[in-house]
Amino acid sequence: MAQLHITPADDLIDVARRISVSGLRPGETIAIATRTLRGPELAWASEATFAANAAGTVDLERDAPLSGSYTGVSPMGLLWSQRPVDSDSREQFHADATRALVTEITVRADGAQARGELVQRLAAAGVTRREVREDGLVGTLYLPAGPGPHPAVMVLNGSGGGINEPRAALYASRGYAALALAYFKAPGLSDYISNTPLEYFECGLRWIREHVRPARNFIALSGQSRGGELVLLLGATFPELVSAVIGYVPGAVVHSAQNAADPAIGREGPAWLHHGKPLPHVWENNRTASWAPFDEGPAPHRHERAILTALQDPEAVARARIRVEAIRGPVMLLSGTDDGSWPSSLYARMVADKLAEAGHAHDVRHLDFEQAGHAILFPYVPTTQMVYAHPVSGRISTTGGTAAANAEADEQSWIAVRDFLARAVARHAGQA
């Protein structure tokens, strides 16, 4: 009789699992299927067939599927290759980030079935959650178990807006006080990125210092996409408040509001204000910029193609460049070579090159993932939904990449980020 083994069955989402089946006949073909409820009435599923070895076992750490939702040997392939059932949703988590994801795994072998559950948690035991609605801030604070003090991370979302609670919960589970701070498209805030004042984030950084009291005042910034642009901009604008910067698929220049724009202002209007004045952005007075490569032709569109036209005007690029040399801490950059949203690989190289040219006194790490796209998250979540309707503009776009390459980027980036942060905290402590 087939027996399903999942080790560990219940752990944090970033922990790899060993999935195997024993009790089979040598050469027997079996099907392994998964189903995960990832939102209200929203199921994601995958399935693959395997052949047992001479000992009558199938082990996903050793065996590639004969057919199914992924190819090649991948211990967590059944998780990252999941697709939504009867939906085109990209929603991967419950609205409550403290609620675990439960995946039912079913083995069908010779007319019999074996079942098991794989539980993925964003919040470890003892992690606490607190909504922040004070000093004009809108966010959610996750604190690790234990009295602390803990080093802190401010987590910023991209052009979809909202509060990135899943990443904050996982940071807290790994020992960091994490404030997921919204700056638009959240209760009490604008629905658009247009004209967002940088002083709002300065207030958030000072709030962390005052109310969280992080260990040795260590506060890292972690942002993705527009948030990746933003964390570099904040590190350069408020260097005395920022201890380290982590830019997921970042921008090297200031951009206009783009797909998250207020329609009354337009996508070429400013995204960021400082001291009440718009920051110069790359589309402003640009002699080569054109939206045509993004707007025209069949969907899904690659926003990156329009951005590349803007980067052909060196004077506009120079005016809009983020002055990253002002950052006073270590910098980590994560990018994909097939980013469909904007050229994060090029942008990350621009940042790294400028820091090297300036003789940056702190560590600079750049991981550029081959064939990966714009959606680099953290390990063992589905990576199959590259085409989507932008949550603000509604434009159908592609983030780029392949599911397998995106899964590899998810896994390796998180390992690197944890190592980067641990080293940054240790060096910060040594300098204090």
Residue 429 has a pLDDT of 86
**Which of the following is catalytic: 339, 341, 397, 428?**
339
Residue 291 to residues 213, 250, 301, 302, 320, Cα–Cα distance (Å): 45, 20, 11, 11, 18
Instruction: For residue 48, give the 3-state DSSP assignment.
Output: strand
Q: Which of 97, 10, 72 is nearest to 408 (CA)?
A: 72
Q: Name the catalytic one among 46, 194, 225, 256.
A: 225
Nearest to 421 by CA among 252, 237, 183, 214: 214
Q: Which fold would CATH assign to domain 3-121?
A: Immunoglobulin-like (2.60.40)
Q: Please provide the CATH number assigned to the domain covering 128-431.
A: 3.40.50.1820
* pLDDT value for 432: 62
Q: What is the pLDDT at residue 289?
A: 98
Q: Is 341 a catalytic residue?
A: no
Q: What is the per-residue burial (b if ≥16 Cβ within 10 Å, else e) of 247-268?
A: bbbbbbbbbbbbbbbbeebebe
Q: What are phi and psi of 78, to 5 degrees?
A: -70, -20
* C-alpha to C-alpha distance for 302 and 293, rounded to whole angstroms: 8
Mapped onto helix, strand or coil, the DSSP state of residue 350 is: helix
| Predicted local confidence at residue 282, as pLDDT | 98
Tally of CB atoms within 10 A around 37: 15
222 is catalytic: no
CATH 3.40.50.1820 residue ranges of the chain are: 128-431
pLDDT tens, residue by residue, 351-376 = 999 999 999 999 999 999 999 999 99
Kindly report the three-state secondary structure assignment for every residue of 292-337: HHHHCCCCCECHHHHHHHHCCCHHHHHHHECCHHHCCCCEEEEEEC
- Annotated active-site residue 290? The verdict is no
* Annotated catalytic residue within 94, 255, 374, 428: 374
Give the residue range(s) of CATH 2.60.40.2240 domains in the chain.
3-121
Q: What is residue 259's predicted lDDT score, i.e. its pLDDT? A: 96
Phi, psi of 285 (to 5 degrees): 50, 35
Q: What residues in the chain have per-residue pLDDT under 50?
A: none
**Of 425, 399, 81, the residue nearest 243 (C-alpha):** 425
